[in-house]
């Protein structure tokens, strides 16, 4: 395929390398002209995945891509920029979204913002650093257009990147957004030194939250116990590469959310938490961990939140 990857961050860079390794013609489109020039000159991304060889990948800016020639446009930008980026993309090639979040302006799933062209979503336990290093993992592709999902599966699947088709687009997108918020709270457990038992319990209850919300939105329960749900949640909460986990740890140690983001880069959970909370209220679902994360982001002491969660009325699992 003639493929354009929009977004030259860590995940966009790693995915561009993955596509090129599969034999596709790849253009990576950066918002920063200096970043694009550096990639063309050195064959390396000066900001992300600096050891990844990009010498066989075309680099340009988002505004200068020949989109009419593209057979697939991969969007790998932060959720808060997804809508604006999408509106700037000409052409009719289908969109493959790598972004994990909700639209902060409307509270909607990101795929619903795509009009007049096919759209699919890729998700799963996909830490960019490991994929760039060629380490094995698996992912799901979901789309309302089953033929598109199956075609992308054939084009992307490899010995190092196993791809499954999941028809539950709603569930895959809810998982992708919600797991980042639980990742923040798991990092908070690390930052407070509360131990592995507490962290495992929090992750399990976080998965239950995700599943409740997904079911209320029309998702399939089994999606939350697969790669997009449990798989992605586990790596987000445990990996040393996890940005949301690291941000939660820093916040627990006294950093302001803005300071954590400045040190780490894009932290999707910080954007998604209030959007997810508002969605849960609209559909009438209680998300105590997500609500608690929002309280902490608004200034509540994390120790008080931990005590309140542990002090909730006992009930059946």
CA distances from 130 to 109, 158, 183, 195 (A): 27, 15, 18, 26
Given 80, 100, 179, 246, which residue is catalytic? 179
- Give phi and psi for 162, each to the nearest 5: -85, 130
Active site residue 199: no
Residue 61, Cβ density class (10 Å: 0-12 exposed, 13-18 middle, ≥19 buried):
middle
The number of C-alpha atoms within 13 Å of 99 and in the hemisphere containing its C-beta is: 32
3 state SS of 170: helix
Question: Looking at the chain, how many residues does it have?
Answer: 317
Cα–Cα dist 142/149, whole Å: 6
Cα–Cα dist 24/35, whole Å: 22
Residues annotated as catalytic (active site), given as ranges: 179
């Amino acid at each position: 395929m003639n493929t354009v990857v929009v977004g030259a961050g860590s995940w966009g860079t790693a995915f561009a390398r993955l596509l090129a390794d599969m034999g596709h013609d790849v253009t990576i489109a950066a918002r920063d002209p200096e970043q694009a020039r550096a990639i063309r000159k050195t064959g390396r991304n000066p900001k992300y995945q600096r050891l990844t060889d990009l010498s066989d990948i075309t680099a340009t800016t988002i505004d200068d891509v020949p989109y009419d020639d593209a057979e697939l446009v991969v969007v790998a930008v932060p959720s808060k920029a997804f809508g604006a980026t999408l509106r700037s993309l000409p052409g009719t090639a289908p969109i493959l979204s790598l972004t994990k979040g909700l639209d902060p302006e409307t509270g909607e799933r990101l795929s619903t913002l795509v009009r007049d062209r096919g759209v699919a979503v890729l998700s799963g336990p996909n830490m960019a650093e490991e994929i760039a290093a060629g380490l094995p993992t698996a992912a799901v592709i979901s789309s309302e257009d089953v033929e598109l999902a199956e075609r992308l599966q054939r084009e992307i699947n490899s010995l190092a990147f196993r791809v499954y088709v999941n028809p539950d687009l709603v569930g895959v997108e809810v998982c992708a957004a919600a797991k980042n918020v639980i990742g923040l709270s798991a990092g908070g457990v690390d930052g407070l030194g509360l131990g592995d038992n507490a962290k495992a319990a929090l992750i399990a209850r976080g998965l239950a939250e995700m599943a409740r919300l997904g079911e209320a939105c029309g998702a399939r329960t089994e999606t939350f116990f697969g790669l997009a749900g449990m798989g992605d949640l586990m790596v987000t909460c445990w990996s040393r590469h996890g940005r949301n986990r690291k941000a939660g740890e820093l916040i627990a140690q006294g950093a302001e959310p803005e300071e954590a983001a400045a040190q780490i880069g894009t932290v999707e959970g910080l954007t998604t938490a209030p959007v997810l909370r508002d969605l849960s209220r609209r559909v009438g679902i209680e998300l105590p961990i997500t609500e608690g994360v929002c309280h902490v982001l608004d200034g509540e002491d994390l120790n008080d939140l931990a005590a309140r969660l542990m002090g909730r009325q006992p009930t059946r699992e």
